[in-house]
Structure 1
Amino acid sequence: MWLRPSRAGRDAPPLSRDRIVEEAVALLDAEGADRLTMRRLAERLGTGSTTLYWHVKTKDDVLDLALDMIFAEVEIPPEGGRGWRADITALINGWRAVLLRHPWSAALLGRPMLGPNVLARSEFLYATLLEAGITEPHLTAAAYGLSNYVIGSGLMQATWPADDEQEVRQAAREHLHANRERYPALAAHGPLVADDDRDTGFTLGLTWLLDGIQASVTNVMTEYT
């Protein structure tokens, strides 16, 4: 999608690409990616599929554009000397909030991400890690670790409906309790046993990741002193 030139000219229909993508995001938020088709999108826009194809060639193009549009909601921390940990924490928490507002999105983030909004936030993440003193091969590992953590968290929360959570958790607790001799650690400490505060758990996990990154920086600096 992002490697093809955009189509423009005097004969272009009045419906804009931005309007198409806004409606696509609304449809995705309401019904999920499986329900998105070019025909249904055209119906919501009150037009024909031919008009859509002037702006986008395939459903995949629509998904690429929709993903990039929602990434604009992830605020890039302003310059202010708060430090690399605070900046990355703000970015990752903002990213998680967007994934939870648009629960269809986490499952699609394995796609090539070359839109301007995605690249701007990825650039910020990499640049901030570089400023913190992270170099290859640790740079890519750190960026991937942070990205995969927030995507995985968003995906798990999106695929476990809140309405079913308590019933499923109770059944899981009973199963682990009944098999506690086989799974003693899980029966005593597993994530399905204790009451789950997802926000607190996410924050703790992110802190551990950043602690590991900071330890890596400290070790490198120690080697060169």
Structure 2
Amino acid sequence: MPADKQPIPSVWMRPQRQQPQPALSRAQIVSEAIQLLDAEGIEALSMRRLGTRLGAAATSLYRHVANKDELIELVVDEVYGEVRVPPADDPAGWRQAVGDCARSMRSTILRHPWLTAVLGQVGLVYLGPNMMRTSDRLLAIVRSAGFGAGEADQAISAVVAYVIGMSTSEAAFLSLLSRSGYSEQEWVEKLWPAAEAAVQEHPQLREEYAAQRGKDQQQAREENFVYGLERILDGLESRLRAVGGPD
């Protein structure tokens, strides 16, 4: 390898060394890391902190992961294993199947709100086995519906980008709530007077805020997500008709 070429930094690109069975397994490390991330967020994760929680020196962790970035690749892929993808056994039901997967992905992100902060920023997360399996099953659904190679990937990318975009703001809001000690309804009621005052000179916003007054906020978030998802699926369905895919 030329001196100016460095190995690609990723746990998925590094051959695993054969070694005696250690007292601490990779699965234990990943599981404890996820618990730490769920409880305290990405800022709390360090190899030293994780080693302390596991009752082991940080050096023990390095037998399984070279650095924190590799650990994050592993925890992201582990969490992606929670995303449910229906089988591609009914071409006519592709829309429901993609929608179900999108809703499962959103639920997964909201259970692990740190996830969106690291997606696309660390390593080659898309090479993880769970993420590869999820992507392959989603592609099978849209390919069965009539999308060709290449465009099938574009269709899935559009759906996933929507889910991540919407869920990122939701996850940030829910993290803020958990730190505040307020319930969602309490938070909204406390802020409402200031919000109403701020929109007085903006008639369109004032009308929208008035329409939202008194709504259950969790239900409103669900409805907003589903509305956007359905419009994405409408567009894909329209595209399928244009290319002659199944109705």
Give TM-score, length-normalised by structure 2.
0.80
CA distance in 2, matches of 1:7, 1:190: 58
Check 1:147–1:169 CA distance in 2 against 1; reply closer, same or farther (3 A cut).
farther
- Over residues 1-58 of structure 1, what are the superposed CA-to-partner deviations in whole Å (9 max), with x where a residue is unaligned? 2111122222x52210000000000000000011100000000000001100011011
What is the alpha-carbon distance in structure 2 between the residues aligned to residue 191 and residue 147 of structure 1? 31
Write the letter of the residue equivalent to 2:166. Answer: S
Which of 110, 113, 120 is 1:100 aligned to?
110
CA apart distance, 1:185? 2.5
Answer yes or no: is the 8 Å Cα contact 1:169–1:192 preserved in 2: no
Instruction: Check 1:191–1:89 CA distance in 2 against 1; reply closer, same or farther (3 A cut).
Output: farther
Say yes or no: does 1:148 pair with 2:148. Answer: no
TM-score w.r.t. structure 1 length?
A: 0.87
Identity %: 36
Matching of residue 127 in structure 1 with residue 159 in structure 2 = no
Q: Distance in 1 between matches of 2:89 and 2:128?
A: 26
Stretch moving more, 166-175 or 121-130: 166-175
DSSP-derived class of the 1:63 partner = helix
Letter in 2 for 1:123: D
Going from structure 1 to structure 2, the CA distance change for 1:172 and 1:136 (only over 3 Å counts) comes to farther
The CA deviation at 1:77 is 1.2
Q: CA deviation at 1:191?
A: 10
Deviation at 1:65, TM superposition (A): 0.5
Aligned to 2:32: 23
In structure 1, the partner of 2:7 is: none
Of 51, 58, 78, 2:87 maps to 78
- The whole-number CA distance in structure 2 between the counterparts of 1:19 and 1:192 is 49
Q: What stretches of structure 2 of length at least 5 have no aligned partner?
A: 1-10
- Report if aligned partners of 1:169, 1:193 keep a CA contact under 8 Å in 2: no
Quick one: structure 1 residues 52 and 203, their matched pair in 2 at CA, closer, same or farther if it must change by over 3 Å?
Answer: same
Q: 1:61-114: CA deviations, max 9, x gaps?
A: 111111111111112213553711111111111111111111111221124321
Aligned length: 217
Distance 2:101 2:164 in 1: 13
User: Structure 2 CA distance, aligned partners of 1:98 and 1:13?
Assistant: 31
Q: Structure 1 CA distance, aligned partners of 2:211 and 2:46? A: 37
1:185-219 C-alpha deviation (Å, 9 max, x unpaired): 33323699554411111111111110100000101
Question: 2:196·2:206 contact (CA, 8 Å) conserved in 1?
Answer: yes
CA gap of 1:192–1:17, structure 2 versus 1, over 3 A, is farther
Q: Aligned partners of 2:34, 2:17: CA distance in 1, in Å?
A: 21
The structure-2 alpha-carbon separation of the partners of 1:192 and 1:143, relative to structure 1 and needing over 3 Å to count, comes to farther
AA in 1 matched with 2:207: A
How far, CA to CA, are the matches of 1:209 and 1:192 in structure 2? 24
Find the aligned partners of 1:191 and 1:151 in 2 and give their Cα distance. 28
Which of 91, 101, 114 aligns to 2:127? It is 114
Name the structure 2 match of 1:171. Answer: 194
Distance of 1:17 and 1:79 partners within structure 2: 32
- In structure 2, the CA distance between the partners of 1:212 and 1:190, relative to structure 1 (3 Å rule), is farther
